[in-house]
Structure 1
């Protein structure tokens, strides 16, 4: 008996279906993933806001100790917070390039996912991942981003452009919804 309100035979078919993606990762994929993580996770927001907040506090404390005029501390605040924001954005771009440099040698990747996990095969590497490795995922217009669990600080980036069939994007979204927490 189906209590979910849909056709149970269709749900069983969808549950057993795998999603297949073939793609070549890019540095832009990792940058998009890190920016999405910075916007949507508490740890990402803390990481992105730490430098600008520290700069603002330092300027305010320094201005108070030095008895600086309002014009001096406002200009100092704008310059230091602006520089900290620029440094944070630059740091995300550098981190994305480093992450990309790790997967670039793999070349073109093929990933097949089902309810048990994902099997990824590159030109030089192959590995199987169980969904328990990841705790949550988020979705951007161009990517699925899987975020590591309690014992893994990893991030997996899966570009939607690699879907072999447009239905594979929906299939993967359903698989991820069943196995991970959506952010």
Structure 2
């Protein structure tokens, strides 16, 4: 299917839909990963646990080095592991998003229609249709809407960049559709 063709089934739905046309960027995905980390219980624990363990490890390693204890290699290992954990807690979402850069480039332009029955996503490589129950919650940042499945260990999310709407008032219409069908977090 070409990007400018519209499937009647995808365009149909309860209420008038909002169409977005965009290419997902690593910045969009970074925001979505941060939202998912705050929203998912297991990832929320990881969000505070990694810096805590990293800080403790760096503190142990640093204090062992400063005290001049003979086991210097273990102290360096603790210090390095601590700094790594702290760095991952800060830069992890950006690194994860960059890991998907190749896949995002291959997907190319994305056309998404959000209507009363759910979300239809079409790229150059795939097409999918999700009902509201597949990702029952959403969050909003300054630049994107993110729909999520926050069930235990779920990784399912859809990124809807606001720059993809055709008209500025469509952002409000999209928010209204999401509010009517999903729980806002």
Q: Normalising by structure 2, what TM-score?
A: 0.72
Contact 2:54–2:83 (8 Å) recurs in 1: no
Q: Which residue of 2 aligns with 1:47?
A: 46
Which residue of structure 2 lines up, in the alignment, with residue 36 of structure 1? 35
Aligned 1:41-120 pairs, distance under 5 A: 41-58=40-57, 83-120=84-121
Instruction: Go from structure 1 to structure 2 and tell me whether the alpha carbon gap of 1:59 and 1:124 turns closer, same or farther (over 3 Å shift).
Output: closer
Q: Is the 8 A contact 2:58 2:79 kept in 1?
A: no
Pick closer, same or farther for the CA change 1:124–1:58 going to 2, 3 Å.
closer
1:116-127 to structure 2, matched below 5 A, reads: 116-127=117-128
1:148–1:155 contact (8 Å) kept in structure 2: yes
Give TM-score, length-normalised by structure 1: 0.73
Unaligned ranges ≥5, structure 1: 1-14, 70-75
- For 2:61 and 2:83, the matched residues in 1 are separated by 17
User: CA 1:119 to 1:109, structure 2 compared with 1: closer, same or farther past 3 Å?
Assistant: same
RMSD: 3.0
Q: Give 1:126 deviation, angstroms.
A: 1.4
| Aligned position for 1:19 | 18
Aligned pairs, how many? 161
Report the equivalent of 2:133.
Answer: 132
CA distance 1:150–1:87, shift in 2 (3 Å): closer
> Retained in 1: the 8 A contact 2:57–2:82?
no
Q: 1:135–1:78: structure 2 CA closer, same or farther, 3 Å change rule? A: farther
Closer, same or farther: CA 150–40 of 1 in aligned 2, 3 Å: closer
Q: Tell me, yes or no, if the aligned pair for 1:20 and 1:110 is still in contact at 8 Å.
A: yes
1:57-81 deviation per Cα after TM superposition (whole angstroms, max 9, x unaligned): 44677899x8x97xxxxxx999875
Distance 1:81 1:62 in 2: 8
Given that 2:55 and 2:86 are in contact with CA atoms closer than 8 Å, whether structure 1 keeps it comes out as: no
The CA distance in 2 between the partners of 1:133 and 1:149, in whole Å, is 10
Q: Which of the numbers 172, 180, 183 marks the counterpart of 1:181?
A: 183
Residue 97 of structure 1 and its aligned partner are, at CA, apart by: 1.8
| Aligned equivalent of 1:165 | 167
C-alpha displacement of 1:168:
1.5
Pair 1:100–1:176, CA change in 2 (3 A): farther
